[in-house]
Structure 1
Amino acid sequence: MSNDDLPETFHVSTDEQLRAVSNLTRHRIMAVLRAEPATITQIAERVGLAKGSSSYHVRLLERAGLVQVVRTRKVRGVTERYYAMAARQIVLPDPVPGQPDVLMRHAVADLEAAPADGERHVRMAHLRLTDERFAELGARLDALADEYQALSPPALPEASLAFALFRPAARKQGGKESS
């Protein structure tokens, strides 16, 4: 099965699926499998895990329906399984109020683990926007991400893009909310 045969999206909807994607190690395994199918040994090498740990995490992802076996082959009497993502894109539900945003936590962890001397562009800007401008900016950011994702052949070096456009919680000053 090639990436062309994969469904476009997989919507995470169960607690088991959410627990599976909430783990940083499993997030990194899925990043490996987004590029191409891989065996447990290949995954372990690319993520820096022991084979047993890699196998455990892949089994949890498979049980949750997020990855699947796409081909097998016999090597010296042992069946080698190649795993791939179950869909091109995994869509998480919006975080419940008071719960962490899994995507942003993983993005920050990946940023912190990236080489300090590597090329990166990190910026935070505080804006004041009408509801209309807020929606417009969100749509433009989504379109830009989609455009560059479509221009991303697998042979090129990987780059990650994470953005969050949100209205922060009102800050309290001296016991009163500020606006």
Structure 2
Amino acid sequence: MPTDDLPETVHVTTDEQLRAVSNLTRHRIMAVLRFEPATITQIAERVGLAKGSSSYHVRLLERAGLVKVVRTRKVRGVTERYYAMAARSIVLPDPGEGGPDVVMRHAVADLEASPADSERHVRMDHLRLTEEQFTELGARLEALADEYRALSDPSLPDVTLAVALFRPAPVQRTQGDSQ
């Protein structure tokens, strides 16, 4: 079931789209559809939902323009729909100062839900970098992620890579604080 004709990106611009991607269950449904189309039944099985709940969430994603029907077929008199992502990637708006970063929240939730006995590589470092080093590191991380995305094989188990490179907000010192 080819999805080669997909646009490169969908930009989340409406409140409906933002609400759709902000939900963890819908995030997990989109993860199922990341590599290949699936039916409501297949989505429900992979995400661990009842078919009715799966159908509800997929309809919301479809109304928001984030997933679409890419194929139908008749099975015992019932039309079976295969859903896929509406684009290869989804671009979220900047959350703004103090706003929640939906992608990182979902990544943390997925990390917490992953099997405790599975291999994980989690690391957090605090660095001090020049603007040039910061930009170079960001580009290298993106290139590495792109390299491994190109190697992705839908027949292999899912792996999530979450990367956040940012400058933290400056620490506000209050009167009476000492160095």
Shorter-normalised TM range? over 0.9
Match of 2:25 in 1: 25
1:138 aligns with 2:138: yes
Cα deviation code 1:80-104 (max 9, x no counterpart): 1111110111111111212100000
Query: How far apart are residue 177 of structure 1 and its match?
Result: 8.9
Distance 1:53 1:176 in 2: 54
Distance 1:175 1:33 in 2: 52
Query: Which amino acid letter does the alignment assign opposite residue 171 of structure 2?
Result: R
Match of 1:95 in 2: 95
Query: How far apart are residue 163 of structure 1 and its match?
Result: 0.9
Query: How far apart are residue 3 of structure 1 and its match?
Result: 2.5
Alignment of 1:86-165 (within 5 A): 86-165=86-165
Cα deviation code 1:38-61 (max 9, x no counterpart): 111111111011111111100000
Contact 1:71–1:83 under 8 Å retained in 2: yes
1:82 aligns with 2:82: yes
Match of 1:65 in 2: 65
Deviating above 4 A after TM superposition, structure 1's stretches of 4 or more consecutive aligned residues are 176-179
| Consecutive unaligned residues in structure 2, runs of 5 or more | none
Distance 2:107 2:124 in 1: 14
Contact 1:3–1:88 under 8 Å retained in 2: no
Count of equivalent residues: 179
Distance verdict in 2 for CA 1:43–1:178, change over 3 Å? farther
Percent identity for Structure 1 against Structure 2: 81
Query: How far apart are residue 156 of structure 1 and its match?
Result: 2.1
TM-score, length basis structure 1: 0.94
Contact 1:172–1:178 under 8 Å retained in 2: no
Match of 1:12 in 2: 12
Distance 1:48 1:176 in 2: 52
23-32 or 13-22, which deviates more: 13-22
| Consecutive unaligned residues in structure 1, runs of 5 or more | none
Contact 2:3–2:70 under 8 Å retained in 1: no
Distance verdict in 2 for CA 1:178–1:103, change over 3 Å? farther
TM-score, length basis structure 2: 0.94
Distance verdict in 2 for CA 1:168–1:178, change over 3 Å? farther
Distance 1:3 1:120 in 2: 31
Query: How far apart are residue 174 of structure 1 and its match?
Result: 4.1
1:166 is paired with a residue whose SS is: coil
Cα deviation code 1:87-131 (max 9, x no counterpart): 111111111212100000000000001111101100000000111
